[in-house]
Amino acid sequence: MDGPRHHDVLVVGGGNAGISLAAKLLRDGCRNVAVVEPSTTHHYRPLLSYVASGMATLDDLRRPERDVIPDGVRWYPDAVTGVDPDASHVHLASGEVLHYTDLALCPGSQVDWDAVPGAEAAMATPAAATSYLPELAPMTWTLLSSLTSGTAVFVVSDRYVPCSPVALKPLLTAADHWRRTGVLDAIDIHLVHEGEALVGQERADRELRAAAAGFGVRVRLRTRVESVDPERRTVRLSGSDGPDELAYDALYVAPPHRAPAWLAASGLATAASAGFVAVDPYTLQHVGHPTVWGLGDAADVQTPPSGGALRKQVPVVAHNIAARRTGAPMRRYQGYTVAPVTTDRRRLLLAEFDRDGTPDPTFRFPDLVRPRRTLLAFDRFLEPPVYWHRLLKGKVS
């Protein structure tokens, strides 16, 4: 009887991280790469916040998964149910077992509705929405743009939310819309944020707070939503000073996320996190299994997750897989991440920083933390073609 099908590098996850890494490995000379990804549709997820802001459509961010799989890479349209790192086996939902020399885990994270009782039920009502699920992102703008009076509550968790500062895009673009249509004074806007700051880079945080203040947004930091009552249209809060309940006419939620359960069940997760891959945050190598690697939203890399961070993570993993085999020095990931956030419907700032919050700009000039119209144009219209035609082709270094 034949054994499991073998792949030199097996990549779990066919999103930004997985496809970019598979393409990069091919460019670096690896000829037996496979990707496991159950979805038949690939999403450029950064555009979801623009869909929620009425500035893009779902058609702008969707492609068939088969169209982004690099030529020469084997695609398994299947789901992973478990990993046996001692045997170098990956188990699929179909019952098939795959064998690997190196395994790269980048399955992404999942919305954790259970962490906020009532939030999922609220999403089924016309008064609540999120940009973190493709099917709900268009409803976000429908909800916000139709509001002419009342209370709008924006909730941002800091529990593993991918690029959480981007959740401010629907808030600030909606507030600008309300000002332009003359109804801003009739809307009471609340931002309930779990974090210590709106973004982890000090100057950018000041800019975003100023933008929120300019629209009259009431910001509550270090405040958690404990539950949502969709029938009464209220959220129950804990944390900072202020009322412990807010009523809403429109509710936007950037919800907590968790890693796929099979990661923890396979013994690959950190004890302190919600099941995220336990990696050395610099080399991205698993702390207990040297042929296993983690990157993207499902890896505990000790820096805020973002799509832009993958531009640094992908080449590190690709290099270090080869370095492990030859004994060459490994490259290090310094925790770079990025948050592109609109401050209104015309301007955007770019916060680039490392895991310590130290600014780490790609370019020293011009100052990209200063909100600019050109930055919004780049983020909305030029970055997507770069994604499709460069990043997903492995053109990262």
Phi-psi region of 344 (alpha: psi -120 to 50; beta: other; left: phi over 0): beta
Within a domain: 223 = yes
pLDDT of residue 271: 80
Could you tell me if residue 340 is inside a domain?
no
**In this predicted model, what pLDDT tens digit does every residue of 324-349 receive, in sequence order?**
999 999 999 999 999 999 999 999 99
The per-residue pLDDT for 1 is 39
Cα gap 228→141, rounded to integer Å? 20
One-letter identity of residue 241:
D
Flag whether 235 is in a domain: yes
**pLDDT score recorded for residue 211:** 98
58 plus 132 within the same structural domain: no
- Low-confidence stretches of the chain (pLDDT beneath 50): 1
> Within this chain, do residues 199 and 240 fall inside the same structural domain, yes or no?
yes
Same domain, 96 and 191: no
Judgement on whether residues 27 and 148 belong to the same structural domain of the protein: no
Asked, for residue 137, whether it belongs to a domain, the answer is yes
CATH number, domain of 30, equals 3.50.50.60
Q: Does some domain include residue 370?
A: no
* pLDDT value for 338: 97
In a domain, 327, yes or no: yes
208 and 297 inside one domain: no
- Residue 128 belongs to some domain of the structure: yes
pLDDT of residue 272: 80
Question: Same domain for 247 and 271?
Answer: no
Residues 198 and 269 placed together within one structural domain of the fold: no
| Chain segment 183-193, per-residue pLDDT in tens | 999 999 999 99
Let me know whether 126 and 79 are in one domain. no
- Rounded CA gap, 189 and 167, in Å? 15
- Per the structure, the count of domains in the chain is 2
Q: What is d(CA 179, CA 320) in angstroms, rounded to the nearest whole number?
A: 51
Q: For residue 18, what are the domain limits?
A: 5-109+259-335+388-393
Q: DSSP string covering 152-208, please?
A: EEEEE--SS-TTGGGGHHHHHHHHHHHHHTT-GGGEEEEEEE-SSSSSSSHHHHHHH
From 230, 256, 282, give the residue that closes a domain.
Answer: 256
Half-sphere exposure of 70 (CA within 13 A, CB side): 29
Contact 201, 353 (CB under 8 A): yes
Model pLDDT for residues 64-103, shown as the tens digit of each residue: 999 999 999 999 999 999 999 999 999 999 999 999 999 9
**Euclidean distance between CA atoms 204 and 209, whole angstroms:** 9
Both 246 and 149 in one domain: the answer is yes
150 and 228 in a single domain? The answer is yes
